[in-house]
Amino acid sequence: MTAPEFLKFTRQWVGACDRALKDKGSIYIACSYYNISEPMIVLKQLSYKINNIITWYKSNAMPNMTKRIFTHSTEFVIWAVKGSGWTFNYEKQKDGRLKQMRDLWQMPLVQGKERIRGSSTTAYVAKKYERQWIGIEKDKNYIKISTKRLSK
Domains in the chain: boundaries: 3-111, 115-152
Instruction: Give the confidence band of 48 by pLDDT, cuts at 50, 70, 90.
Output: very high
Q: Residue 64 has what pLDDT?
A: 82
Strands (E), the chain: 26-31, 49-57, 74-81, 104-106
Q: Residue 99 has what pLDDT?
A: 79
The count of other CB atoms within 10 Å of the CB of residue 37 is 14
CA angle, corner 97, sides to 95 and 101, nearest 5? Answer: 85
Task: Give the side-chain half-sphere CA count within 13 A for 10.
Answer: 22
The amino acid occupying position 46 is L
102-141 pLDDT, tens digit each: 888 876 554 443 444 566 777 777 777 777 777 777 788 8
Lowest model confidence (mean pLDDT) among 19-33, 80-94, 101-115:
101-115
pTM: 0.70
Provide mean pLDDT across the span 42-58.
Answer: 94
CA angle, corner 56, sides to 61 and 65, nearest 5? Answer: 20
CATH topology of domain 3-111: Rossmann fold (3.40.50)
